[in-house]
Amino acid sequence: MATSFRIRAAGLAAALSGLLFVLFGLVYYCFTHGSTGVGRNDTLFGLDYGEYGRMQVVWPPLLALSLAAYGATQIPGAGGRARTGLRIALVGLGLQVIGDVLQYWVSDPDIPSEF
C-alpha cells in the first residue's frame, strides 16, 4: 500500500470515528442526562439510551485503526516517545471498548443496581 493512501485512509477513519463519537456519545449524553427537550426515558430516533450506549463500541476501533495506519507510515522514523505514546493510545482505546462491552452487554443498563 502506498504511504499516501495509508495517510488518507487514516484521516478518513479518524474523521469517521470522530463523527460517530459525536453521534453516539454526545447525543447519548444529552439524551440520558435530560439536556434536551427529550425526557430522560424517552426514545430518540427510535432508540433508547441503552441502545445508544451499545453503539459506543463502534468508534474506538476506527480510531485505533487510524492511529495504527498513521503509526505504520510516520512512527518508524520517530523516536521512542512517539512509539510509546502510540502504544499507550492504542491500549487506552482497547480499554474503552472493554469498558463499553462490560457496561452495556455484560450488565443491563436498564437495571440501576447493575448500571
Phi and psi based region of residue 34 (left: phi greater than 0; alpha: psi -120 to 50; beta: remaining): left
Whole-model pTM?
0.69
pLDDT score at 54 = 80
Are the beta carbons of 83 and 75 closer than 8 angstroms? yes
Q: What string of pLDDT tens digits covers the 115 residues of the chain?
A: 567 787 788 888 888 888 888 877 777 667 666 655 656 666 666 777 677 778 788 888 888 888 888 777 776 677 788 888 888 988 998 998 898 888 878 877 666 555 5
Q: Which grid cell sits at 61?
A: 476501533
N- to C-terminal Cα separation, the chain: 44
